[in-house]
Structure 1
Amino acid sequence: MSVLTLQLAGPLQAWGASARFARRTTEHAPTKSGVVGLLAAALGRRRSDDLTDLAALRFGVRVDQRGVPVRDYQTAHRFESGKSLPISERFYLADAVFVAVVEGEDDLLDRLHRALRDPVFLPYLGRRSCPPARPIELGVHHDQTLDERLKDEPWRASSWHQRRNRESMVTLETIVQADDVAGPVDTLRDQPLSFDPLHRRYALRAIRHHQVRIPNPAARRPVTDHDPTAVLRGQ
């Protein structure tokens, strides 16, 4: 088994799990259905194609920069008749950064890695209006598990966000697919079964929330043995 690490960063992101009709909400972190859709697009798969192999990947995400929720108020009209369409609300995350990891068979992850470097369909962060601001792929690791990679991957928050945090270590939230449902778990309806526009289907997925401690490369280190009068003495 191997892991493929992804960097999801952009001005806006939107990861819906229960969005319906005119109110399109977003989860506070990327969903499995959204990331599987991104991977399927990179491979060139159509919405009606089989997703079995991608849906079977184990999925986890780390919240490196939480972002700010924003709401967009939209109106539209039909071109032919000029009739107004229902007013809609669309929610996004602004300035968010996430590390997502998928775990699976070596051959599949190697193909996904190559596809992300040269995608058939351009990737987006949950919605077509949300392009990525950085390269998505961070490499394949053949000697690690998903949980280990979430602990070892360097902090990917923006440099200004890292500088605002004075601590040498930061605590980040992780949301990991729970293979063992014994004990407390949460559920999210983001396990993709079909992206076919005629019959989209999603199943419940068990998840667990954890925390990891990551070094802050921009931490301010204390100045020691500082003598403010040394320059006056020619030292």
Structure 2
Amino acid sequence: MGHFLTFAMVAPMASFGTLAVGERRDGGDRPARSAVLGLLGACLGLTREDEAGQNALAQGYGLAVLCHASGRLLTDYHTAQTAPSRRNWRPATRAQELAEAPGEVATILSRRDYRMGSWHLGALWVRGDNPRWSLAEIRDALQEPVFTPSLGRKSCPPGLPLAPELVEGESATAVLLERQDSGPESSMRNRFGLFKDQLAGRNSRTETLVVLDAADVAEHGAGHTILRREMRRDHPLSRTRWQFGLREEALILCAKEAGV
């Protein structure tokens, strides 16, 4: 039996960023590993400049996410000021860039993706013997966060409590499926038509998608078959330099008997 910390990530509006180039800010249908660790780090009070703390969080814990509902896609358009290009000029801040811009400031259009009615559950476990924080300490931080938690952007607060719970189970997938069926937020599922599943090709009543590191499937996949593998650049390397490494993620489809 293993020890896990489960928690909810439910919001009326969420934004799970992917690779961002230029004016296009795509969003994924599920939170990246870096996004969930960022949520935990905010609750723990970690700043981006705390490299030791960020590395301890990134390296010391395993993570699995159950995708109950990806949410409906919403694309929003923003206008933002930008300065003309200038050779060998590296302003320290955006305010300096705009204040010292040569000529007139231009306007660009930015397109950003959001998810309406997003519902995910997370399971965290310790890797190794000397974690910086125990699961109980992280649970306490989720209950009384230092910084305000959000799901992707500050404009996307959780719609339900994170409701962290310390549990025991055979695997991360097993405890996530148990929480989906009987967890503290389970009575709210599909209430008033909210949070209905939006993942194509899946019957939400008989199938559930769980994602985790491909290397963890043997121990935490609960015997379910891998649907596919994806390479994601969402392993935090440096928050200050905004650098992320590649990670192989496995998507497993957990089938239930009809009527369960």
Could you tell me which residue of structure 1 aligns to residue 58 of structure 2? 55
Aligned-partner Cα distance in 2 for 1:120–1:74 = 30
- TM-superposed deviation, 1:168: 10
1:141-180 correspondence runs (5 A): 141-155=167-181, 156=186, 157-161=189-193, 169-179=205-215
Shift in alpha-carbon separation, 1:129–1:164, aligned structure 2, 3 A:
closer
- TM-superposed deviation, 1:206: 1.0
Could you tell me which residue of structure 1 aligns to residue 113 of structure 2? 91
Give ranges in structure 1 of 5+ residues lacking alignment: 220-235
Could you tell me which residue of structure 1 aligns to residue 230 of structure 2? 186
Report the more deviating stretch, 206-215 or 45-54. Answer: 206-215
Q: Which of structures 1 and 2 has the bigger CA Rg?
A: 1
- TM-superposed deviation, 1:143: 4.1
| Identity across matched positions, percent | 27
Does the 8 Å CA contact 2:35/2:152 hold for their aligned counterparts? Answer: yes
- TM-superposed deviation, 1:162: 8.3
Aligned-partner Cα distance in 2 for 1:55–1:163 = 29
Shift in alpha-carbon separation, 1:164–1:87, aligned structure 2, 3 A:
closer
Does the 8 Å CA contact 2:142/2:164 hold for their aligned counterparts? Answer: no
Does the 8 Å CA contact 2:190/2:196 hold for their aligned counterparts? Answer: no
Could you tell me which residue of structure 2 aligns to residue 44 of structure 1? 45
Aligned-partner Cα distance in 1 for 2:113–2:193 = 22
Shift in alpha-carbon separation, 1:195–1:174, aligned structure 2, 3 A:
same
Could you tell me which residue of structure 1 aligns to residue 3 of structure 2? 2
Aligned-partner Cα distance in 2 for 1:104–1:214 = 28
Could you tell me which residue of structure 2 aligns to residue 68 of structure 1? 72
- Residues matched between the structures, number: 215
Does the 8 Å CA contact 1:42/1:119 hold for their aligned counterparts? Answer: yes
Q: Residue 102 in 1 paired to residue 103 in 2?
A: no
Aligned-partner Cα distance in 1 for 2:28–2:144 = 28
Does the 8 Å CA contact 2:5/2:123 hold for their aligned counterparts? Answer: yes
Aligned-partner Cα distance in 2 for 1:161–1:95 = 10
Q: TM-score, normalised by structure 2?
A: 0.72
Give 2:210's aligned amino acid: T
- TM-superposed deviation, 1:181: 8.9
Aligned-residue Cα RMSD (Å) equals 3.2
Could you tell me which residue of structure 2 aligns to residue 232 of structure 1? none
Q: TM-score, normalised by structure 1?
A: 0.79
Aligned-partner Cα distance in 2 for 1:34–1:163 = 20
